[in-house]
Structure 1
Amino acid sequence: MKKKHIIAILACSVMLAVTGVLAGCGGSQADKDGTLTLTNVSYDPTRELYKEYNELFQKHYQEETGKNIRIIQSHGGSGSQARSVIEGSRADVVTLALSHDISLIEKAGLIHAGWQDDFANDSAPYTSTIVFLVRKGNPKGIRDWDDLVKPGVSVITPDPKSSGGACWNFLAAWSWGLDHFGGNEIKTRAFVTDLYKNVTVMDSGARGSTTTFVENGQGDVLIAWENEAFYSLQEYPDKFELVVPSVSILAQPSVAVVGRLAKRKGHEDAARDYLQYLYSDEAQELAAKNGFRPSNPDILKRHADRFDTRVKLTKISDFGGWDAAYVKFFDDDALFDKIMADVNGNE
């Protein structure tokens, strides 16, 4: 995938992608009443989490500093969100689906090298994994990845070219293939190709795919973030079921201060506090409530009845890290593009 490494610095205010909220420029940005405004550019399935977390942090920040703070949220496909920051949206922090997207912002000169060490657990305050959401009664009998390639099964998953969650989905499927076929990549590629032949809609982001499946009624199975599946079950308890496959992947959403922009606005300290507080017990409990797996192992244990910890999880390190994974799978003319060429050539 070709990324534009362009920093668009405007003299006054820049339209924030997705939300369309204007951010002021120059100095420490505070409203006339002294309220500081932080901008968090995030990915699709974190809307509910950060709506609650922002209220929690605002209370914490006021108690700790005596000052008021408000948070502007922006959501979209993780890859698209990273590009929006590179091209001009005035983020103070990013909370994206995968570290690779933040590394692109680093390469554009907006985040310092070594940002993964700024916070605990490689700057991943919570994790998730990839599961299936099926319709009530599971009419297609979907239990594992091989059921997704059966004739007549309609699969919904977003596009890895714009969605970080979609990259996790792809690698989870690839992980099952390698496990099932004893490491045979030829058979694994054939399996993943058959899976994408059954994909009927590829939205640009994970939340768009959830909307397609849940609200628009398309597809037999949604390949989803675990937290997205929980959210759908909560909203429509009588319409869907969650299926945990035998093999998935440990998905690690990452966070970082966009140092160059936050420093220019005098927001660096507040931005760091905003991300650090994600590791507090209160925020970790909130993450669990919203379907994310807390990075604090003690708090994760408290929710053992909700999160299936028996599933076999691969890690991005098993693929050599995100740089290697992108070169092999997601860059232009890499394996995903070749698989889609095979899919489209056999329609």
Structure 2
Amino acid sequence: MRLRQSILGLRASWRKFVALFLVGVGLSVTVASCAGGNQTAGGGANGGGNVELTLVSYAVTRAAYEKIIPQFTQQWQQEHNQNVTFNQSYGGSGSQARAVIDGLEADVVALALALDTERIEEAGLIQSGWETEAPNNAIVHKSVAALVTRDGNPKNVQNWADLARDDVSVITANPKTSGGARWNFLALWGSVTQTGGNDDQALELTRNVYQNAPVLPRDAREATDVFFKQGQGDVLINYENEMILAGLNNQNLPYVVPEVNISIDNPIAVVDTNVDKHGTREVAEAFVEFLFTPEAQREFARVGFRPVDPTVAEEVAQQYPQIDTLFTAQDMGGWDQIQQRFFDDGAIFDQIQAGIRR
């Protein structure tokens, strides 16, 4: 990529990545009626007939579920003599949570962050304690944050502190409107507080980084568009799994995974009100359990997610850069405290924005 021809090739690769990303984020597939009028009630183990499940997830998981769902349906049919078909909907995690609250009758939700799942719980559709009803506290796969740079990393960006330099322009979505962007904010803040720094130092770093953000797009899709299509910014805060998936599609983009990082934990949950309405609890819970098997975990790993199954994690360890300090949302107080402290109206993020000179 040192010659002009190589640079042109990288630009074409960026364009392909943007197209892939936009298709993934915007996709919403409904294979059959979400109401499932012809499903076999109960999803019973001895039933025969057909059962329909509706899976609602966020965009970049689609490639994994395309491989996992046929494995599960084949196993269920062999063990229970019953056909399972899936309605699938993919889109931005926050938008998907809103859709379920507004009436999309998901049996299972697999979203980007627990806060989105908790919103569905608050709407009365998921019973409290859902985190304990699946293995690994219902975290089905993980990722970490990545810093996407321009070709050759001309600003030599290696870590979070580099994003606060005067000569670096940063593209990230607005954490007030983007659930995924909240991971970005927490990664910045935690890179200080989880390595011995105090809140004042974390505030200074985070404020300086957002000072370097010329715009705050509404969501990750718009942020990616601003960086790739509009050419703004030196660095885009994105996610390791998306960069790995882009590489698997021959779109090798330059990126750095900081050695101090946040574990981007992605939860799974059964939507209790809907499975009881549809009579699909048994098969929905079995599907969730299947996602934690080595077979399913390998499919998540193949598209860039960090698996939670220890055996599979060891198998694919060389696929991922080593993280020296890995912290979690729980280490920062859990999502209820995080939301109140950082993202509610008048909280720390709003205070940072109020003091930024544009």
TM-score range, shorter chain: 0.7 to 0.9
- Give the aligned partner of residue 224 of structure 1: 238
Give distance in 1, aligned partners of 2:330 and 2:218.
25
Give distance in 2, aligned partners of 1:45 and 1:330.
25
1:246 alignment partner AA = E
- Where do 5+ consecutive residues of structure 1 fail to align? 1-16
Cα deviation, residue 26, structure 1? 7.4
Equivalent pair of 2:244/2:304 in contact (CA under 8 Å): yes
- Give the aligned partner of residue 293 of structure 2: 280
* TM-score, normalization by structure 1: 0.85
Cα deviation, residue 66, structure 1? 2.7
Residue among 328, 333, 339 paired with 2:341: 328
Cα deviation, residue 203, structure 1? 3.8
- Give the aligned partner of residue 123 of structure 1: 138
- Give the aligned partner of residue 183 of structure 1: 197
Residue among 25, 28, 33 paired with 1:19: 28
SS at match of 2:345: coil
Name the CA shift for 1:331/1:202 in 2 (closer, same or farther; >3 Å).
Answer: same
Alignment of 1:299-318 (within 5 A): 299-318=312-331
2:201 alignment partner AA = K
Cα deviation, residue 192, structure 1? 0.8
Alignment of 1:74-223 (within 5 A): 74-179=89-194, 182-214=196-228, 217-223=231-237
Equivalent pair of 1:96/1:255 in contact (CA under 8 Å): yes
2:242 alignment partner AA = E
Name the CA shift for 1:220/1:234 in 2 (closer, same or farther; >3 Å).
Answer: farther
SS at match of 1:310: coil
Name the CA shift for 1:214/1:310 in 2 (closer, same or farther; >3 Å).
Answer: same
Instruction: Show CA shifts across 1:170-211 (max 9, x none).
Output: 10110113256x432223212111111222443444355345
| Identity score, percent | 39
Alignment of 1:290-305 (within 5 A): 290-305=303-318
Cα deviation, residue 120, structure 1? 0.8
Give distance in 2, aligned partners of 1:307 and 1:326.
30
SS at match of 1:160: coil
- Give the aligned partner of residue 270 of structure 1: 283
Residue among 51, 71, 85 paired with 2:66: 51
Give distance in 1, aligned partners of 2:352 and 2:112.
23
1:60 alignment partner AA = Q
Residue among 86, 89, 112 paired with 1:71: 86
2:39 alignment partner AA = Q
1:303 alignment partner AA = V
Give distance in 1, aligned partners of 2:87 and 2:36.
17
Equivalent pair of 1:157/1:209 in contact (CA under 8 Å): yes
SS at match of 2:175: coil
Give distance in 2, aligned partners of 1:23 and 1:237.
36
Give distance in 1, aligned partners of 2:63 and 2:238.
16
Give distance in 1, aligned partners of 2:87 and 2:35.
15
SS at match of 1:252: strand
Cα deviation, residue 259, structure 1? 0.8
SS at match of 1:159: coil
Instruction: Show CA shifts across 1:191-233 (max 9, x none).
Output: 1111112224434443553454346544322211210121223
- Give the aligned partner of residue 12 of structure 1: none
Aligned CA-pair RMSD: 2.6
2:28 alignment partner AA = T
1:95 alignment partner AA = A
2:59 alignment partner AA = D
Equivalent pair of 1:78/1:205 in contact (CA under 8 Å): no
* TM-score, normalization by structure 2: 0.83
Give distance in 1, aligned partners of 2:210 and 2:27.
28
Give distance in 2, aligned partners of 1:92 and 1:53.
17
Cα deviation, residue 254, structure 1? 0.5
Name the CA shift for 1:28/1:273 in 2 (closer, same or farther; >3 Å).
Answer: farther
Equivalent pair of 1:262/1:268 in contact (CA under 8 Å): yes
Give distance in 2, aligned partners of 1:46 and 1:256.
15
Cα deviation, residue 301, structure 1? 0.9
- Give the aligned partner of residue 264 of structure 2: 251
1:226 alignment partner AA = E
Instruction: Show CA shifts across 1:25-82 (max 9, x none).
Output: 3766369x95433222212332322232223323333333333222222233322322
Equivalent pair of 1:62/1:69 in contact (CA under 8 Å): yes
SS at match of 1:253: strand
Give distance in 2, aligned partners of 1:108 and 1:314.
29
Equivalent pair of 2:113/2:267 in contact (CA under 8 Å): yes
Name the CA shift for 1:262/1:179 in 2 (closer, same or farther; >3 Å).
Answer: closer
Give distance in 2, aligned partners of 1:210 and 1:232.
13
Equivalent pair of 1:27/1:264 in contact (CA under 8 Å): no
